Amino acid sequence: MAEPVTLTGKEQTEEDRALQEELRQRGPLPVHIAIIMDGNGRWAQQQGKRRVVGHYEGVESVRDITEACAQLGIPYLTLYTFSTENWQRPASEVNALMQLLVKTIRREKKALLENGVQLRVIGDVAQLPAVCQKELAQAVRETARNDRLVLTLALSYSGRWEIVQAAQKLARKVQEGALQPDDIDEQTFAAALPSAELPDPDLLIRTGGEFRVSNFLLWQIAYTELYITDIYWPAFRRRQLYEAIRSYQNRERRFGRIDASDTNGVR
Ligand code: IPE
Ligand code: IPE
Ligand code: MG
């Protein structure tokens, strides 16, 4: 039995252990869960608090969901943390988010290390303040050998940005004569994406109730199962995650084919 995971600092209850076991028995768990963590501002405003309070509480959800995924044995969790478009928010909110990022990485690094969590980042990180880049690079380096859960933060990220990176990389190879245009297929394209090492997400969760993908993992979600909940991110904890996983387990993933048992008389 692997060492227990403790990111929240709370001991896992027997009841929670049983719920996780039930989920494992119920059917295959997603290998890769991606989450659009939306609704922090509305959660705070609903309580008459400043938007930033929602971001603080959102960090608690990150800890709880990361811990639950590691305990469940889900190998990949990717969190949409800050989009390319989020740079257009007021400077005060952007600064508060960047400070929160630095503070959180500093505070959680030890727990990530001790709990087998490997931290990765995808996005145009050169746009982030130097101190953020430094803290992130250090945490990524120090946790690189962990293999219980790969936690990827999408920062200064957009799906279109990522696709453009791949296009530029392939164009350079063609220019150098190392690649023929006709040799570019889905595999070579996917391999040129900055997130190439991540498998495509099986389940994409969006909190905060909006029915859109907001420029997240556009290439990778071709056949991802979508789960949208009205719950705001700061209120989304492991119970809500289990509900999303149950919904995922009830789906039939056909990938464009037909149900094996339903041939409608045609063989
Ligand atoms: C998500 O919550 C966090 C980030 C985008 C950084 P929001 O800040 O978008 O909160 P709402 O959607 O305005 O409530
Ligand atoms: C998506 O949330 C980006 C992140 C969660 C980081 P937004 O709040 O930025 O998305 P829109 O504006 O509702 O599409
Ligand atoms: Mg939002």
CATH number for 183: 3.40.1180.10
Return the residue whose CA atom lies nearest to atom 13 of ligand 1: 41
Structure tokens at 169: 């990389």
Q: What is the pLDDT of residue 174?
A: 98
For ligand 1, say whether the CB of 234 is within 6 Å of any of its atoms. no
Q: Are 116 and 148 in contact (CB under 8 A)?
A: yes
In a domain, 76, yes or no: yes
In a domain, 8, yes or no: no
Q: What is the pLDDT of residue 1?
A: 47
For ligand 1, say whether the CB of 40 is within 6 Å of any of its atoms. yes
Residue positions annotated with a catalytic role: 38, 86
Sort 68 into a burial class: Cβ within 10 Å, 0-12 / 13-18 / 19+.
Answer: buried
How far is it, in rounded angstroms, from Cα 211 to Cα 251? 19
Which long-range CB contacts under 8 A does 230-233 form with residues at least 24 apart?
Answer: 231/39, 231/207, 232/38, 232/39, 232/40, 232/42, 232/43, 232/46, 232/54, 232/207, 232/208, 233/37, 233/38, 233/39, 233/40, 233/43, 233/54, 233/58, 233/61, 233/207, 233/208
Site to probe by mutation for ligand 1, drawn from 35, 42, 98 as the one with most ligand atoms within 8 Å of Cβ, is 42
Around ligand 2, the residues with Cβ closer than 6 Å are 36-38, 80-83, 86, 210, 212, 214
Among all chains, which residue has been given the structure tokens 């130097």?
130
Enclosing domain of residue 142 = 29-248
Measured in Å, residue 229 CA sits from the centre of ligand 2 at 14
In a domain, 37, yes or no: yes
**pTM of the prediction?**
0.96
Which listed ligand is nearest to 213 at the C-alpha? Answer: 2
In a domain, 6, yes or no: no
Measured in Å, residue 38 CA sits from the centre of ligand 3 at 5
Coil/strand/helix, residue 9: coil
Measured in Å, residue 111 CA sits from the centre of ligand 2 at 28
How far is it, in rounded angstroms, from Cα 58 to Cα 118? 20
Q: Is 219 annotated as a binding residue?
A: no
In a domain, 70, yes or no: yes
Query: Got the DSSP string for 122-143?
Result: ES-GGGS-HHHHHHHHHHHHHT
Coil/strand/helix, residue 85: helix
Q: What is the number of structural domains in the chain?
A: 1
Q: What is the pLDDT of residue 78?
A: 98
Which listed ligand is nearest to 41 at the C-alpha? Answer: 1
For ligand 1, say whether the CB of 41 is within 6 Å of any of its atoms. yes
Q: How many CA atoms lie within 13 A of 99 on its CB side?
A: 8
Return the residue whose CA atom lies nearest to atom 7 of ligand 2: 38
In a domain, 147, yes or no: yes
In a domain, 142, yes or no: yes
Instruction: Give the pLDDT of the chain (267 residues) as one tens digit per residue.
Output: 467 777 888 899 999 999 999 999 999 999 999 999 999 999 999 999 999 999 999 999 999 999 999 999 999 999 999 999 999 999 999 999 999 999 999 999 999 998 999 999 999 999 999 999 999 999 999 999 999 999 999 999 999 999 999 999 999 999 999 999 999 999 999 999 999 999 999 999 999 999 999 999 999 999 999 999 999 999 999 999 999 999 999 999 999 999 867 666 665
Return the residue whose CA atom lies nearest to atom 12 of ligand 1: 39
**Relative to the CA of 37, which ligand 1 atom is closest?**
1
Q: What is the pLDDT of residue 261?
A: 74
Sort 3 into a burial class: Cβ within 10 Å, 0-12 / 13-18 / 19+.
Answer: exposed
In a domain, 13, yes or no: no
Sort 89 into a burial class: Cβ within 10 Å, 0-12 / 13-18 / 19+.
Answer: middle
Q: What is the pLDDT of residue 7?
A: 87
